[in-house]
Amino acid sequence: MKWLLILIISFTSLGEAQAQLTGTVTDSITGRPLAAVSVYLNNTSKGAVTNKDGTFRLVIPAGNYELVISAIGYTTVIRRINGREQTPPINIRLHQDATELTTITVEPYEKRGWGKYGKFFRENFIGTGANASSCEILNREVLRFHFYKRGNRLSVTATEPLQIANDALGYTLEYRLEEFVADFNNKITTWQGYPLFHEQEAKNKDRQQEWQLSRKTTYRGSLMHFIRSLYAGHTLHESFLIQRELTVPNIEKMRVKEIYRPDFQKPGLFPMDTLYHFWEVLRQPNMIQRRIAVSPDSLTSPHAGSPALDLNFDGTLLVTYGVSSRTDSFYVSGIRLLGAQPVTIEENGNYYPGKELLTTGRWGQSEKIGNLLPLDYFPPPPDPRYPGLH
């Protein structure tokens, strides 16, 4: 059964300059400071925890970010912040999570949800590839599975941030799951959350090198790799070919019909191999699918007021990775905009709003937690001894 995966992850932007952000987190009702609150830049390894007096300090690289303020029992707060500007100290008031309380009291969850839906959730959230097999949800008891018979829909929530160990890439994720919805009628899975990455400590140098190689392999051909190369105008150099599939007249069939008329031509006029070709072409439809190359420059335009670019196109684009001799991979993915508005892309692979970009093909299967890399990851430069290899 084929599913469409709408991957909803709001990325962040990293830059060279850095700024200091300070602030205080308090309870919205009592006004008391809240300790041990996670404050981090979404989908990066940049984060902090509030002190006993509710204060925090965080280094913000230049660029636009989603600042995530998350604590158990409270509604997650998201603030847009620009690391290129000096921001005065901020005060965050957290509200108790009434939605979570309502879910527990009004909509009972499946007590044996993991046994019933765990395999489906893991395959569609963590993934099914080699990296996914090395991932483990360390606190899966916090997951709550809700199945709605009337809509034939599965919803999964979590009472605490998920702790996910990815031993293939050497990260442990603190993942605030906002939603996971599987629409069985339309075969569409949607999930959204806010991950914070923590580097695992390697036991030895060999293990660290294995992680580095695995990260590099996972990065090559990923959606983040494509967005970065599209922003830089280096898609073909980075082995990406962008095409659009069009329905066009079958020119070859039209040509064969002009020269081959069996009712009026003498036998032996054409050799048998030519006749076989004619017969094969005549069995084809009059209208066929053809792929034409798309110029990357035609897809983007400047985004007002920032260094970002707007990505805008109609229909579905096919993106083939592996079109140069520098790669040993070759696969096709599809991207489509779900709304009328463009998607904004940034230099480090950031794109938003995430829910407006639908991925299919390879990315529809691979862009899951098992292959997720933080936006502050960059592959090592090529070995100067072998400049042709990346």
The CATH number given to whatever domain includes residue 75 is 2.60.40.1120
CA distance 309 to 296: 12
Q: Which of 35, 67, 102 is the last residue of a domain?
A: 102
**Assigned domain for 30 exists:** yes
Per residue in 189-242, pLDDT (tens digit) is 888 899 999 999 999 999 999 999 999 999 999 999 999 999 999 999 999 999
Residue 328's pLDDT is what? 65
To the nearest 10°, report the CA torsion of 60, 61, 67, 71. -50
- 229/359 same-domain check: yes
Residue 20's pLDDT is what? 87
- 235/280 same-domain check: no
**Assigned domain for 96 exists:** yes
Instruction: Tell me which residue range forms the domain holding 316.
Output: 223-247+288-366
Q: Which of 46, 67, 102 is the last residue of a domain?
A: 102
CA distance 308 to 295: 19
- 243/317 same-domain check: yes
Residue 62's pLDDT is what? 67
- 26/77 same-domain check: yes
Residue 312's pLDDT is what? 96
Q: Which residues of the chain have pLDDT under 50?
A: 1-2, 5-15, 100-105, 385-390
- 227/276 same-domain check: no
Residue 104's pLDDT is what? 45
- 310/335 same-domain check: yes
- 231/309 same-domain check: yes
Contact predicate 184/324, CB 8 Å: no
**Assigned domain for 385 exists:** no
Residue 302's pLDDT is what? 94
**Assigned domain for 75 exists:** yes
To the nearest 10°, report the CA torsion of 356, 361, 362, 363. 0
**Assigned domain for 36 exists:** yes
**Assigned domain for 27 exists:** yes
- 53/91 same-domain check: yes
pTM of the model: 0.81
Residue 1's pLDDT is what? 47
Contact predicate 109/145, CB 8 Å: yes
Please write down the HEC assignment for all residues of the chain.
Answer: CCCEEEEECCCCCCCCCEEEEEEEEEECCCCCECCCCEEEECCECCEEECCCCCEEEEEEECCEEEEEEECCCECCEEEEEECCCCCCCEEEEECECHHHHHHHHHCCCCCCHHHHHHHHHHHHHCCCCCCHHHEEECCHHHEEEEEECCCCEEEEEECCCEEEEECCCCEEEEEEEEEEEEECCCCEEEEEEEEEEEECCCCCHHHHHHHHHHHHHHHCCCHHHHHHHHHHCCCCCCCEEEEEEEEEECHHHHHHHHHCCCCCCCCCCCCHHHHHHHHHHHCCCCEEEEEEECCHHHCEEECCCCCCEEECCCCEEEEEECCCCCCCCCEEEEEEECCCCCEEECCCCCEECHHHEEEEHHHHHHCCHHHCCCCCCCCCCCCCCCCCCC
- 262/348 same-domain check: no
Give φ, ψ of 369 to 5 degrees. Answer: -60, -35
- 235/324 same-domain check: yes
- 14/94 same-domain check: yes
**Assigned domain for 16 exists:** yes
Q: Which of 86, 102, 118 is the last residue of a domain?
A: 102
CA distance 147 to 184: 11
Residue 7's pLDDT is what? 46
In whole angstroms, how far apart are CA 362 and each of 64, 129, 191, 330, 334?
29, 11, 18, 10, 8
* Overall number of domains in the chain: 3
CA distance 270 to 384: 58
**Assigned domain for 52 exists:** yes
Amino acid at 63: G
Closest C-alpha among 311, 306, 132 to residue 223: 311
Per residue in 338-376, pLDDT (tens digit) is 888 999 998 888 888 888 898 999 999 999 999 999 988
Share of the chain above pLDDT 90, in %: 60
Residue 306's pLDDT is what? 82
Spell out the residues 6+ positions from residue 213 whose beta carbon is closer than 8 angstroms to its own. none
- 258/361 same-domain check: no
